[in-house]
Structure formats: C-alpha cells, structure tokens
Amino acid sequence: MNKLPELSDIIKAQSRLKGIVKETPLEHTKSFSSMSGANVFMKLENMQSTGSFKVRGAYNKLSCMSGEELARGVVCASAGNHAQGVAYAANSKGVKATVFMPVFTPPLKVIATRAYGADVVMQGNTFDDAFAAAMEFREQSGATFVHPFDDPHIIAGQGTIGLEIFHQLDTIDDVLVPIGGGGMIAGIAIALKEMNPDIRIIGVEAEGAQSMRLSMKEGKPNTLKSMNTIADGIAVKTPGQLNFEATRKYVDELLTVSDAEIAHTTYLLLQRAKLLAEPSGVAALAAVLHKKTDLIGRNVVPVISGGNVNMGILEQILEKGMMDERLRARIAVLIPDMAGELKGIISILENIRANINEISHERSITSVPVGYVMVTITFNLQDTSQLETIRKTLDDKLLKYDILS
C-alpha cells in the first residue's frame, strides 16, 4: 500500500525536476497587503510550464516509473491542468499519453493538451465520469494510470513548491493552499512542516466543493453528493486517501470561499497585479483578501496555483468586476419610440465622455407601453461620480429608468 512521501522524497523530486519546471516567483504585493492587513507574498504557479503546478507531480511520477511501465504508455483523467502536466511530461520522455477529459472541459485546455502530444478522449459530464472511463481504458490497454493527486510521487512533486517557498522567504508565518483532491496541500504541508513545524498550513476549498472539510468531519475520505462552483480545478467529489492523511496530520485550518469571492479576487488580481489566474488558482488569495482567518501583520503566502482560465468565465468575471467597482454601468431607459429620442440619451453619455459598450432595444415585453421602447445601454465610466451625473440628468428630463446591476 502506498504511504505518504517524506521530506527526503520531496528533495529527490526537486532534483528530478531541475531544468524541467520553473522555480516560480514569490512576489510581494503592496496592494493586497494593504487590503488584507497581512504581509502578502504570492507564489505564482500560474507562471509555471503548462500554466499550473500539476506538471511538477506528473513529471516526478513518470520519472519514478519503470521502463516497462513507460513502454505501455500512460493514461490519466483530468478537467485540464493535470492533463496538460501529464501530456507535457510524457512528451518530454517520449511516452504515449491518453487523457480522458469531461465534455465540459474548456476548449483551450483540450487544445493545449493535444498540443503537448496526448490523445484526448472527451467522456462524461464530471471528473468522476472521466476517471471511470480512464480506469476502464487502463484495464483494456495495460497503460499505466497516473492519478491526479492520490499518489506519493505526485504528492512529492507538488511538495517542491514548499521547498521553493522556504528558500525564497526568510520568515514564513502562514501558507494558504487551494484544495481539490489534496495533492498540492499534502506535498507543501509535508515539506514545510518537516522543516519548520511553526509554519501554519491553511487549506482553502470552494464553498460548492467542500470534500476535504466533509472528510475531516467524518474522519475518513468522504464523497460529496453534488458540487457547484466556478472553480472547476478544485471541484473534486472525493479527496485522496493519502491526501486526507496528510491534511489530518499537517494542516492547521480549513477555510472556504464563495464563487463571488473567487470571481472578485480573479478580477482584482488582473486589475491590480496584472496577473491572469483561473478561479481555482485564486482560492487561497480570496481567503486572504476576504479575511477568512486572522492574518493581520503576518507573513502570508497564498499559492496562485494555475492560470488556465476558461475565457467565457473570464469575460463574465471582468464584466461583473467592472460593474461592482462602478467602472461599467447598465441603464434601461423608457423613451418614446420616435426619431431623435435615442440620440438625446446618447448625448448625455457623450457629454461626460462615457464610452458606450452595447445598446439594445425592446418593444414587445408587456412592461413597455405601446408607442415606447425600452433602451438598455451598457457603458464604461472614467470614475464613479459620473453615474450620479447621469442619474441627475435623467431625473431632470423626467425619464423613467433603472440602473441595472
């Protein structure tokens, strides 16, 4: 039976990964330190090869496999990041890789996985469906299965993040790590706790996918009946047995963040730090910025675990972020359905130099009287005071309108 890796295993993994993966930056952020009251250093695994930390574990696993196992090829199941890590590692070693991905997987992740040379099979609506299909393929083909998290070599590879953090920052108080299946937090926790037991390790799950919290409560790995979160990279119904054991032994605290908090943090990371990350990748930072535990005055390291974002989700996040900060607004104005009326509304926006993003018209809904049209205008603002100017002008003209959120 597999057992948890030791610190020595993680140090060996680091040697195997030298020249293959990047030592990612640990970047201090004044903006987020000011917002949170902590001294925040971001570990930027979104800048890793393949766009996430997963390549560390995948390459270490393949490096520890026998020639016979490699000759049979490898197979894995993944919603994206593990797939790319395995495909990259297999390509580096000249090994055939077959990857099973759920049908909802963002197209860019599928394209990237194929670009690394893997055969991609789209099957099932969830990771668990893809996992079952991969296991069936393993039985039929004899290919070696590369588990995304519940494997000592995978855990040791992810643990190299902890070694890097330890050598990049002299004084570490807290390290916050996103949790899906638990491979990354297991490796990081083993590495850091063995070197300095005083470092607090804090896991962060999405509210809609709290499998590790449920498992800790039940005292054994437990399976969620359902999940609902935009953070697809950490949406795992059942944590690994090894990962559960490591979490129970080494992790000091488990936190959760909502999808709204994740989305807002993704927006802030891009706006303030000019860094693009996927929703699952910002979960740890979201816990810091939304003050889920007391971190005031402490040296805090949230791991930004990946940057392979679904562009459709990103578009929604940016739209909502701009609306929340009142840098974009949407108004619905009821005007007579006559020539020149719309021009009058547009001139109000032009006068304050608001940039119109979109205009739509609606005449057929029952709330619009005959002879009128509901015009909905989305526009960008230069500062938040402009919206009040627009509101006052519309009031002065006695127009019926709504500011839409």
Residues 84-95 have a mean pLDDT of 96
Q: Which domains does the chain have, with CATH numbers?
A: 7-53+151-319 (3.40.50.1100), 55-145 (3.40.50.1100), 327-404 (3.30.70.260)
Report residue 24's pLDDT band, with 50, 70 and 90 as the boundaries. Answer: very high
pLDDT score for 181: 94
**159: amino acid identity, one letter:** G
Flag whether pLDDT at 17 surpasses 80. yes
How far apart are the C-alpha atoms of 102 and 94, rounded to whole Å? Answer: 25
Residues 117, 137 contacting (CB under 8 angstroms): no
Residues recorded for the chain: 405
pLDDT score for 121: 95
How far apart are the C-alpha atoms of 2 and 334, rounded to whole Å? Answer: 67
Q: Identify the DSSP state of 143.
A: P
Residues 38-53 have a mean pLDDT of 97
Lowest-pLDDT range, 5-19, 238-252, 295-309, 387-401?
A: 387-401
How far apart are the C-alpha atoms of 10 and 152, rounded to whole Å? Answer: 10
Residues 217-230 have a mean pLDDT of 94
- Residues 6+ away with beta carbon under 8 Å from 125: 102, 103, 104
Per-residue model confidence as pLDDT tens digits over 341-390:
888 888 888 888 888 889 998 888 878 889 999 999 998 988 878 888 88
Catalytic residues: 54, 305
Flag whether pLDDT at 209 surpasses 60. yes
Tokens of residue 320, six digits: 């909502």
Flag whether pLDDT at 391 surpasses 90. no
Lowest-pLDDT range, 213-222, 312-321, 379-388?
A: 379-388
Q: In what order do the strands lie in the sheet with 174-178?
A: 26-28, 39-44, 299-304, 174-178, 200-206, 253-257
Collapsed DSSP state (helix, strand, coil) of residue 301: strand
Per-residue model confidence as pLDDT tens digits over 136-183:
999 999 999 999 999 999 999 999 999 999 999 999 999 999 999 999
Tokens of residue 336, six digits: 């007579």
